[in-house]
Structures are given as structure tokens and as C-alpha cells.
Structure 1
């Protein structure tokens, strides 16, 4: 599935959903992409997601952060048999230069399994898959 600059691929062998942004996107496209990932998770019964952010620039605004925290994450609580595990995959260069300002880094630092999700930030895809499988 590809929409809003996003390609969503089920990986039943992991099991996980891999979502890769293919281009620069707008805030609206990011929101629609997150909802698309959630819909794929519902269809597949899959609560392990790898979000590959390596092909797009950082997209962080107070409004988007508020939407993620107030609108998106609350939808995850009790949705699946286990908390959603979200692995954010970023490039090593981005991790070294933007981690303090990165929305993915901020979200990863504030994981809340009691609220229905856990997050982590990775620069290596294999390590991200290993974490998702736990």
C-alpha cells in the first residue's frame, strides 16, 4: 500500500508492519500516514511497527506534536492484545545532528506502555527488528 508518500508493507515473518516514507511530506500527509498505519495494524492484527524516516526531513511542529500525543497515541490504548511497539528508524547522520530536536527522539524518550505504546529510536534496521520481536 502506498499513499501520502508512504509505503506500508506487512511483514508476517517478523511479524511487523514496515512503513517507509518515500518523499518529503506535509503535516496533513503525516497524520494521514499514521492513520493508514493504524488501519493496516487493525486489518492485520499487528501491533509491531517499524517507521522508516530516513527518506524524509524532520517534520516537527507544536501542532503536530500535540496531535500525536492527544489524538493518535490515545487511540492505541487497549486496541491490541499488547502495547503497540513503534521502532523509529533514522539515519546515523540525522541521529548525530538532530537528535535533541527530533520529534522521533522526543517521542521515543517518552514511551508509555501503560498508555498503549512503547517507542524506540534506531539507526540500524536489524536492531529495530530485534527490538520489535521482544
Structure 2
């Protein structure tokens, strides 16, 4: 874990670390967040990403009880659209889910398919294995010619 700025208190439901060697911000949900915690946690990740210049994110949701689809509208309408403005473009987010959660997401009509992100300045992929997620982020970094 990187040291937190004194102005950012620890969160008991989210760990985060910027990996400068990979240019990746890693956020790990430690439990199922409430809706307010979900919003606060993503805002915290955004603050850390701004401080580090991180446009590559690994978001690990495997410890959550379910995929928290009630937050989908907020993510799509409010959170994701602000990322390119605040971080530069494009932003790449690799999400890690348990296989059952990924299945829930892929079969829920309220959750947009991955094709939703085509042509946008923020890109999302979903994974069940961390190695595959990190490989995708590395390919994004190489494609965008970001420093390693």
C-alpha cells in the first residue's frame, strides 16, 4: 500500500494502491459496500488517480457478495463520464468479478454490454482472473504509448 495523504482517511471497505511500475491504480473492495460507500469509494479512487495520473485501473470486486447492479445507473450517468475530463483520455478499467457475479452482470438487462463502451473515452473489460486483467491493461498501456 502506498501512503495515503493525511487528508484521506482509511476506508474499511476499500483498499487502493497505485503501481507506478505498471501505471495501474489497483482498487480492491474488501466487502459488499452500501450505495453510499460505493459512491465514496469510487470518488476516492478518482482522487487517488488524479494525484497519480492513473488512467489504467484494476477494480477487484471479488470480495463483494453480489455485483451491486443498483449502482449501475450512477456509474453510467455520473461517474464514468467524468473520468476522461479529470484524468485525460482514454481511461481503461479492468474489473475482476467472481464467476457467479460476472454471470449476473452479463445476464442483467439493466447492465450495459461491453459494446456500450465502444467509441467512448473510457473503456471497461470484465475478468475473473487477475493475470488476464493485468495483461489487458498492459496492452492498453502499450497501445496508448503510456510510459511503464
Indicate yes or no: 2:88 matched with 1:86: no
**Runs of 5+ unmatched residues, structure 1:** none
Aligned to 1:66: 73
Indicate yes or no: 2:33 matched with 1:25: yes
| 1:1-59 CA distance string (max 9 Å, x none) | 54150001111121101100101210110011111111110000011000001000221
Kept in 2, the 8 Å contact 1:107–1:119? The answer is: no
Instruction: Compute the displacement of 1:127 (Å).
Output: 0.9
Kept in 2, the 8 Å contact 1:14–1:129? The answer is: no
Question: Which protein is bigger by CA-based radius of gyration?
Answer: 2
**Runs of 5+ unmatched residues, structure 2:** 5-9, 141-148
Kept in 1, the 8 Å contact 2:12–2:30? The answer is: no
Aligned to 2:45: 37
TM-score (norm 1): 0.83
Spell out structure 1 runs of 4+ moving beyond 4 A.
none
Aligned counterparts of 1:93 and 1:69: Cα–Cα separation in 2: 22
Instruction: Describe the SS at the equivalent of 1:78.
Output: helix
